[in-house]
Structure 1
């Protein structure tokens, strides 16, 4: 494919790319001011909270991959908070629930994104905290042009907010009217929250100690105090159609901290690929690469039916394993080594046939049969959604204004420091705004099951198995690439397709992003109401009529997306000689890459 919508950005000083042009420009501004990639990424993240509030917020969650310049190995920063101490299956079942609602207070886990950003910039950044937060404060206080999808989301929820979530009504409909697309929109409460935080910590002269003080203010100071006070009495409508109280407390937040972890990796065609751990869906990409390593892609059309079929069938198998065997390894012994082994991939490869599978086929692993059987039973069940607002997360492919989604950013500086981050949660449609803070809580707990004995069973202190999944890769010539996308269950599907196209001949980051995408909803979705769609395959029409017809002949249940609506990939790379490149999707017309 030779078509491209915009040039690949090339330079040597720095590159920043994200799902919103303002955040990308903020990242470049930080680099220009002498900050490094860690400073820039954090500033971009806080800005994305402001300009894409329907996709992420300060009380959300985030996994992050970072790599210091030189020979240092990549590291995962875990910003995924855990279930509160009172989040027990028994309590939720007593509320009449068989699944955790996709919105409301029972869907909330400990907010983790803020501490993850602070941990990284404390240890690896260089700028004062004020310079990192100032762009977000500016756009929250002075305003930013509201995106059409933000305006539409708020308008559609205006009656619900006024009736059920009045603090959200006051925040998102100031003066009682929904903002118009492109109009200037402000969140003065959020600006005041960050301004007060800075005022409380700037008496500390040492930069590192100041950032540590900010962590304390957030998790043990006025911010958590306002969250705790609100949750003591709040009882709000959720996606299951009932008003319920939450279980998160200030004590839960006070005892939690973001942490560093080693990533997992695999080798594919001379490339090395890194992903976060089994508490994310990231290892599905590694499993998929292991599985596909046994096929010859050298003669395949990377937009052709055979390519789409092979990749789709591989993803069905690997996501079936996700549903059966992934979870928080700090709480459950997982068969990780087996799942990521080449021997296991070899044993599964023969399951990929010439026609589309409609079966849910997690692996047969001795000692883990119960998990596989439970996953198959869940995927075969049809779940009804509740009568109220909040149908879980997101995928832009559904093009539903009421659903949340996610954002993504990649940044590389002139020294070679790299960050890839996927912040999410705390959407304006996930939970009411906490009074006085200008920010809603997250709803990541909806990814737990209320059945005991599973790796994804709800339990206090356990991380939900998130869909959030940034990526790093290194090509055989030493080029490092940071990439990712929003999109819930689709994140590692779109990233796999993108990476395969880079590996098998497409060297231009932008052209590989612009190529038509696809994904399957065959397996259990991670978000309320949690249904599977056996045999489903969503495709962009740019794949071509011949490809679509051939896929139908193979039995795939095609859903033809509107043109340019599947995927929101961004990517940045650094070659061994220091040349920097970046690209961003044209889909939705808001993501941009910048650099020089």
Structure 2
């Protein structure tokens, strides 16, 4: 099978990510004696500068990792929580029925920094100064502007110049949209990270002490003070069409910290897939596997009409349960054991018929409990008065202001057998106004909450929004095997599933599975403002056999054929079992920026 690039094979280390500069940075850390955790942290910070339209320092990151010494998979939750003042009544009192998709009202505590620091402290070996040196250099000296970065800034240029002047000062050098291929720097961000290092080194002579001091500077020091002041003293136009200030306070930041959790898992054809808890959409991947375990996908044939139809219909059922049942388990009772149980999935599996379901969502009733969905009607758009959706979703922003799911991802495996899968996102340059003292903006993850009481994902002070960010890890025959994931908002746990099934049932290698044509359903509500849904609609790349597309349409699917190489952004690394013990990697060719490196 033709592939756009080789599947990399070696035995020293592998890094795969959505940008070549991050992959090169991670590999350079491995070459200089760092482990997978050091490499992932350094690469993760570089992504903030290399792909500023897809993530930033004010965003969040969930991480799945395998530590060879501990012989276990751990989840690092870098998803910040809603401010103490963020209540449904507070928002509806402003005349809102959705959390705006841009601006300060949608900000949660920025969790990425805390998560990277927690991983570095507990499992890494490098110092804070060492892992931040690459991002400081790139922020100070500049990076080449991607076509998509230039296109994103162009799409929000008017908003920046008219409504968000602090963002215009950062992202419109000399008052113009930077050209693709030009050099773009962020010296204010470089100064922020330099100050963090200086304060950390002044506070402690030890590696661990410096990491703790940097975390303190971020959540209780100068960074927190600048964030709190910006939220309290400024107000900006957002996607509601109105001007609002922020709700985040110094107390919100000081009271939060990243946590380590055990993953949720599901065993499928000799593989154990690990995902985050239901504060993310990750369990939907596992629910799809639970449903698909009762079908003979291998017998159907890879990318046949039967194969695609079955996967799409199971996706609709799993994501209906996401809408009805998922939320922060610290604030909602989520019946995950039942949702992944065989009895429940046997009942749900019977709903998959020969024709497509194009009707209302069909969540299940685990343990006899009645599901509850939002009262917003399918296909509802933004409230009256909304002027623009630019920057509202998990980007990239199209030229007409519409958004398409995307973010960042990176995977690492080192010679010791340690592995990392991380999906940083949020705080992208177009999400909210740049904080001029820091050189970055806050995230907008709170737009994923519903402004209705009584739902698992209702807005609650101190709760994590049910994020779309969803890194993946899999063991094979009980041995650590693959770290993988993709950007893509709501599509992440469909595209990642397609990739995984292409390897398990299609017999494809990593690069072949990355390159394979992708498809997904848009049947369920988007997690992003304005929370639209498109019942019965599925998208598929035009490289799929046209006869298969016609058969899917005959079965009732509303198929929208997309151009070649337009869906999916997968990357992955694997670790073979002995005796070979080879490490492998593959990265996404779509968009001409993802790359893998290794030897």
Q: TM-score, normalised by structure 1?
A: 0.97
Q: Name the CA distance, whole Å, in 2 between partners of 1:26 and 1:381.
A: 43
Instruction: After TM superposition, list the pairs within 5 Å mapping 1:89-488 onto structure 2.
Output: 89-203=88-202, 204-359=204-359, 360-365=361-366, 368-369=369-370, 372-375=371-374, 377-378=375-376, 380=378, 382-384=380-382, 386-390=386-390, 392-394=392-394, 403=403, 405-476=406-477, 478=479, 480-488=481-489
Kindly state the Cα deviation for residue 335 of structure 1 after the two structures are TM-superposed.
Answer: 1.3
Structure 1: where are the runs of 5+ without partners?
none
2:333 alignment partner, SS class: coil
Question: Given that residues 151 and 399 in structure 2 are in contact (C-alpha distance below 8 angstroms), is that contact kept between their aligned partners in structure 1?
Answer: no
Distance 1:365 1:474, change over 3 A: closer
| Corresponding position of 2:592 | 589
CA contact (8 A) 1:410 1:421 kept: yes
Q: Which residue of 1 aligns with 2:551?
A: 550
After TM superposition, the structure 1 stretch with the greater mean CA deviation from structure 2, 381-390 or 62-71, is 381-390
State the SS of the aligned residue for 2:373. helix
Shift of 1:71: 5.9
Any conservation in 1 of the 2:66–2:480 contact (CA below 8 Å)?
no
Residues 1:39 and 2:15 are matched in the alignment? no
The offset of 1:528, in angstroms, is: 0.5
After alignment, is 378-387 or 127-136 more displaced? Answer: 378-387
Deviation at 1:3, TM superposition (A): 2.0
Map Cα deviations across residues 415-439 of structure 1 (whole Å, 9 max, x no partner).
0011000000001110000111110
Q: Which runs of 5+ in 2 are unaligned?
A: none
What secondary structure, in the 3-state scheme, does the structure 2 residue paired with 1:407 have?
A: coil
> In structure 2, do the counterparts of structure 1 residues 37 and 543 end up closer, same or farther at CA, with 3 Å as the change threshold?
same
Task: Please tell me whether the aligned partners of residues 451 and 459 of structure 2 are also in contact (alpha carbons under 8 angstroms).
Answer: yes
How has the CA–CA distance of structure 1 residues 40 and 168 changed in structure 2, closer, same or farther, with 3 Å as cutoff? same
Match of 2:137, SS state, is helix
Q: Secondary structure at the match of 1:472?
A: strand
Does residue 563 of the first structure (1) align with residue 561 of the second (2)?
no
Relative distance call for 1:477 and 1:112 in structure 2 (3 A) is closer
**Aligned equivalents of 1:43, 1:459: Cα separation in 2:** 33
How far has the Cα of 1:387 moved from its partner? 1.2
**Does the residue aligned with 1:532 lie in a helix, a strand or coil?**
coil
1:310-345, Cα deviation, whole Å (9 max, x unpaired): 000000000000000000101111111111111111
Q: 1:250-297, CA deviations, whole angstroms, 9 ceiling, x for partnerless residues?
A: 110011000000000011111111000000000001011010000112
What is the aligned length?
592
Is this contact kept in 2: 1:470–1:483, CA < 8 A? yes
CA contact (8 A) 2:155 2:390 kept: no
How far apart in 2 are the matches of 1:507 and 1:334?
Answer: 35
Contact 1:391–1:528 at 8 Å: present in 2 too? no
Q: Tell me if structure 2 keeps the 8 A contact 1:235–1:245.
A: yes
Residues 559-591 of structure 1: CA deviation (Å, up to 9, x unaligned): 111110100000000012321000001111110
Q: TM-score with structure 2 length normalisation?
A: 0.97
Question: 2:541 aligns to what?
Answer: 540
Offset at 1:506?
2.1
In 1: Cα distance, 2:522 partner to 2:294 partner: 24
Q: CA RMSD in A?
A: 1.5
Pairwise CA distance, 1:221: 0.8
Residue 476 of structure 1 and its aligned partner are, at CA, apart by 3.0
Cα contact 1:490–1:519 (8 A) shared by 2: yes
Cα distance, 1:479 vs. partner?
5.5
Cα distance in 2, alignment partners of residues 10 and 282 from structure 1: 28
Conserved? CA contact 2:482–2:573, under 8 Å: yes
